[in-house]
């Protein structure tokens, strides 16, 4: 079994770039004070300019760093287009600024673009609607929890994790599209689960995958059910995406949006698949006695969680339960108190179970 290999020990200094392959430059933007302090962004060199992959949070300090990059790192040439892997604010936050500055297009998948437009126009309205109320009630959360989330979102709005305004138009990327940039062809490979239609870029010639948040080497991307789509099954899409990416050759160099660039894509996919399968098994073992969603949090996360982390953790727990329901291993019933109970129904569970031997539930849910 091979380990992941990291040829770079450190991230580039803010405002600078590092060439990781011919015509491909890596840079890092700060993420503020959260559990994750950086995002990786990439520049792809074309004949008469550059393409940018992902853009950083909508913060003034990030805008200023971009202007340093424009002045010092592009050889006096323009940006020809901005490619965003998915709609999260750390990825699309500066897309409007860059697109306006160079009058260049934004390229995204349709699902990601319209999700971004919807969220930036209306905000996360589930905090105030009956949909949100019912979602958290059914999960067994206390009545004042919605108020906690509302407060935490208001506090975090200034930290750049709110949705930015994005360009009013875009060019649509679809799975299988090929972008020719400089001498190389990049194939768009779409995954799902962390976000609806996440675009990765794969260059077979250079053996490079720009993976966004679809494949990260250290942290596990958040895969959550939210009140906006309470019956969604994002973990099913996530696991299917892992299978799809397993066809990428193992000698591919992966350029992720967080942590460090690495070799070992198939090993990392194996770890991620095992991680989620293990979490699901732990939930099944717990649900031998009927359980509510809130009580699954300690099964997945041992740490004390603040209200926003709890929202992500709860969304993850429900995502795991929904895939188990789809696999006919968990049954869900709505009780008179308005709370769902989950119960394991696979008669074969006793043979598969290995209580006390699961992943240490020490992760913090991450907001990427
Ligand atoms: Zn993300």
pLDDT tens track, the chain, 368 positions: 468 999 999 999 999 999 999 999 999 999 976 667 899 999 999 999 999 999 999 999 999 999 999 999 999 999 999 999 999 999 999 999 999 999 999 999 999 999 999 887 655 566 678 888 999 999 999 988 888 887 777 776 655 567 788 999 999 999 999 999 999 999 999 999 999 999 999 999 999 999 999 999 998 999 999 998 999 999 999 999 999 999 999 999 999 999 999 999 999 999 999 999 999 999 999 999 999 999 999 999 888 888 888 888 999 999 999 999 999 999 999 999 999 999 999 999 999 999 888 876 666 555 55
Q: How far is the CA of 195 from the centre of ligand 1 (A)?
A: 7
Q: How far is the CA of 194 from the centre of ligand 1 (A)?
A: 7
In this structure, what CATH number is given to the domain that contains residue 188?
Answer: 3.60.15.10
**What three-state secondary structure class fits 180?**
strand
pLDDT of 32 reads 74
C-alpha 10 to ligand 1 mean position (Å): 22
212 CA to middle of ligand 1, Å?
A: 8
Total count of domains within the chain: 1
In a domain, 237, yes or no: yes
Label residue 360 exposed, middle or buried (CB < 10 Å: 0-12, 13-18, 19+).
exposed
Residue 223 in any domain: the answer is yes
Separation of 181 CA from ligand 1 center, angstroms?
25
DSSP 8-state assignment for residue 43: E
Which residue segment(s) compose the domain that 166 sits in? 18-124+157-270
Any domain includes 285: no
Please indicate, yes or no, if residue 261 is contained in any of the structural domains: yes
pLDDT score for 1? 46
> What is the distance in A from the centroid of ligand 1 to the CA of 75?
30
Contacts of 205 by beta carbon, 8 Å cutoff, 6+ apart: 184, 185
Q: How far is the CA of 366 from the centre of ligand 1 (A)?
A: 9
The per-residue pLDDT for 194 is 97
Q: 253 lies in a domain?
A: yes
Residue 129: its pLDDT value, please?
82
Supply the pLDDT for residue 49: 98
Residue 193 belongs to a domain: yes
* pLDDT of amino acid 130: 87
| CA pair distance 111, 91, nearest whole angstrom | 15
Residue 152 has a pLDDT of 76
Task: HSE, CB side, 13 Å, CA atoms: give it for residue 98.
Answer: 32
Q: Ligand 1 centre from 85 Cα, in Å?
A: 9
How far apart CA 86 and CA 197 sit, in angstroms, is 7
Q: How far apart are CA 212 and CA 84, in angstroms?
A: 9
Q: In angstroms, what is the span from residue 104 Cα to ligand 1's centroid?
A: 23
Contact yes or no for 52/98 (Cβ under 8 A): yes
Interval between CA 193 and ligand 1 midpoint (Å): 10
Distance 342 CA to ligand 1 centre (A): 29
- In this prediction, residue 303 carries a pLDDT of 80
């Amino acid at each position: 079994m091979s380990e992941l290999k990291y040829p770079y020990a450190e991230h580039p200094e803010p405002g600078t770039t590092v060439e990781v392959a011919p015509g491909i430059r890596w840079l890092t933007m700060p993420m503020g004070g959260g559990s994750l302090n950086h995002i990786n962004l990439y520049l792809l060199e074309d004949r008469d300019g550059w393409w940018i992959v992902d853009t950083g949070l909508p913060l003034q300090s990030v805008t200023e760093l971009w202007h340093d990059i424009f002045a010092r790192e592009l050889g006096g040439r323009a940006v020809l287009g901005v490619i965003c892997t998915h709609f999260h604010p750390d990825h699309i936050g500066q897309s409007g600024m860059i697109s306006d500055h160079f009058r260049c297009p934004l390229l995204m998948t349709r699902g990601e673009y319209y999700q971004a437009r919807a969220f930036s126009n209306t905000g996360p309205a589930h905090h105030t609607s009956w949909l949100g109320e019912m979602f958290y009630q059914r999960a067994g959360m206390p009545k004042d929890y919605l108020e906690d989330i509302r407060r935490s979102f208001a506090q975090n709005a200034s930290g750049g994790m709110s949705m930015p305004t994005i360009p009013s138009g875009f060019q649509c990327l679809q799975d299988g599209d090929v972008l020719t940039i400089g001498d190389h062809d990049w194939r768009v490979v779409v995954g799902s689960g962390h976000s609806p239609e996440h675009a990765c870029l794969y260059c077979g010639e250079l053996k490079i995958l720009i993976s966004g948040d679809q494949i990260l080497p250290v942290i596990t991307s958040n895969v959550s059910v939210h009140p906006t789509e309470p019956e969604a099954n994002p973990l099913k899409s996530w696991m299917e995406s892992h299978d799809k990416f397993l066809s990428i050759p193992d000698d591919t160099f992966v350029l992720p949006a967080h942590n460090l660039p690495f070799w070992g894509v198939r090993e990392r996919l194996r770890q991620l698949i095992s991680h989620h399968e293990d979490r699901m098994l732990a939930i099944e073992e717990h649900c031998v006695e009927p359980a509510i969603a809130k009580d699954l949090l300690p099964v997945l996360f041992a740490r004390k969680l603040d209200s926003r982390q709890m929202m992500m953790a709860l969304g993850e727990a429900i995502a795991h339960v929904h895939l188990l329901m789809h696999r006919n291993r968990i049954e869900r019933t709505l009780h008179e108190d308005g709370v769902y109970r989950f119960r394991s129904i696979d008669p074969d569970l006793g043979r598969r179970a290995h209580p006390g031997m699961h992943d240490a539930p020490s992760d913090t849910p991450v907001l990427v």
